[in-house]
Amino acid sequence: MDAATTLAIPQRIASPAGPRAATPAVSNTRLAMIIVIGTECMFFAGLIGAYLVFRLAAARWPPADLPRLPLGVTALNTLVLFSSLLPMTQALRAVRRVDPRALVSGVRRTAVMGLAFLVVQGVEWARLVDHGFTLASGTYGATFYVLIGCHALHVLVAVTWLAVVALLAARGRFTRRRHAGLEMCAWYWYFVCGLWAVLFPLVYLY
């Protein structure tokens, strides 16, 4: 290697730290996911803002002629959703300590718990519709179904993503150093669960 070529190499790459020094502090994947989650937060903030206007302006909430929301079942369902954070975190830890079995098991358990949450939500919605509580039941019905429906849609997307990640994990596609797909999926799952921690008290308890 001649002198001109040596000088052309940036100092940070030529340093003893090697390629590690050139690695950015925050990867592009993480930045992209932050933007996605930030956008989603603002989307839900808009919906929550609309809900607050209707909720605080109403003389009686919920209206007397409409059925009450199933609080007990939804509280249990909430517990299931929040419990799913545990296997998700275990899966993340498993990929870092190179434990493929624990990784696959963790992601699968998270996906199953998310699916269970969706199924229970679906059954409760069917019961509410049977009792005459629909999207057309005034502002109460409209805000409830739009807000909770959008969250359910996000859970559905997250469960689908988890299923794909579980498949890839079973094929050994994630390593200790390369597991951005799993990590971003976990971030999205944390977001979905965190969102429910806001929506459940707001819609069901307040």
Partner 1 sequence: MKAAARPLVASLLLALAPATQALAQSCAMCGSSFGQNDPVQRAFSWSILFLMATPYTIVGAVALWLVYMHRRAAGRRRSAGGGVS
Q: List residues near partner 1 by CB under 8 A.
A: 15-17, 20-21, 23-26, 34, 38, 41-42, 45-46, 48-50, 52-59
CB of 14 to partner 1, least distance (A): 12
Residue 156 CA to residue 79 CA, distance in Å, equals 18
Which is closer to partner 1, CB of 120 or CB of 184? Answer: 184
CB of 59 to partner 1, least distance (A): 7
Which is closer to partner 1, CB of 53 or CB of 86? Answer: 53
Which is closer to partner 1, CB of 142 or CB of 168? Answer: 142
CB of 206 to partner 1, least distance (A): 12
Which is closer to partner 1, CB of 15 or CB of 160? Answer: 15
* Residue with tokens 């969706």, as numbered in its chain: 118
CB of 16 to partner 1, least distance (A): 6
Amino acid code (one letter) for 199: L
Tokens of 86: 């545990």
